Amino acid sequence: MSRKLEAGPKALLSEVKIRQRVRELGAQITQDYKGKDLVVVCVLKGSFIFFADLIRCIDLPISCEFMGVSSYGSGTVSSGEVKITLDLTEPVQGRHILIVEDIVDSGLTMKYLVNNLTTRKPASIRCASLLVKPESVENEVDVEYTGFQIGKEFVIGYGLDYAGRFRQLPYVGIFEQEN
Ligand code: PRP
């Protein structure tokens, strides 16, 4: 293995910083949903690591559900048209939904998910995202549980990929071409 690979991509958020923030979010969610029927939805693939850590910090009898989504269109900018590749396995009518994302970038995916799940008549829908980029503001997406606001850098690790790679990095790093 080359020295560069051993050193790994430059860190933006360390494991320690992420762990601490995830614990805080879990405690907040535990407080907010006490006595409620909460369904926590993992949006695949990117959020699987954040989701796994977050749910273990929620001290409530939650249900876990998974949704697979893929953006239509080519290029690096999301078209906002999302195809559901894996759907919930349980009805959510009358239940509280928390959608868990790794990143809200343009906000179009989250907006689509909120609109789609609203049609299933849940008691409420809120969003949690480890990372939120400033562009999401333009699409009026409310993320009640935000891990970190970040800038425009291309981030990888802790579930986030570049061309399918780097998801297993234990921290959030900045992608640079030589990575
Ligand atoms: C990423 C991320 C969100 C979406 C955010 O998914 O996990 O779902 O993009 O972008 P937006 O706010 O601009 O819509 P991606 O399409 O990379 O798929 P993946 O989760 O399988 O990596």
So what's the pLDDT on residue 82?
Answer: 86
Domain ranges within the chain, ordered by starting residue: 11-174
Half-sphere exposure of residue 9, counting CA atoms within 13 Å on the CB side? Answer: 28
Residue 2 has pLDDT above 50, yes or no: no
Residue whose CA lies nearest to ligand 1 atom number 6: 46
List pLDDT tens digits, range 128-154: 999 999 887 777 899 999 999 999 999
List pLDDT tens digits, range 33-88: 999 999 999 999 999 999 999 999 999 999 999 999 987 655 555 566 788 999 99
List pLDDT tens digits, range 84-121: 999 999 999 999 999 999 999 999 999 999 999 999 99
Q: Is 105 considered catalytic here?
A: yes
Ligand 1 geometric centre to CA of 79 (Å):
11
The crossing angle, in degrees rounded to 10, of helices 15-32 and 48-55 is 60
- Given pLDDT bands bounded at 50, 70 and 90, which one contains residue 6? low
Q: Please give the CATH architecture assigned to the domain spanning 11-174.
A: 3-Layer(aba) Sandwich (3.40)
Beta strands in 30-123, from DSSP E residues, in sequence order: 38-44, 63-71, 82-86, 96-104
Residue 3 has pLDDT above 50, yes or no: no
Ligand 1 geometric centre to CA of 3 (Å):
30
Report how far residue 100's alpha carbon sits from residue 27's, in angstroms, rounded to the nearest whole number.
Answer: 15
Kindly report whether the global pTM for this prediction surpasses the value 0.85. Answer: yes
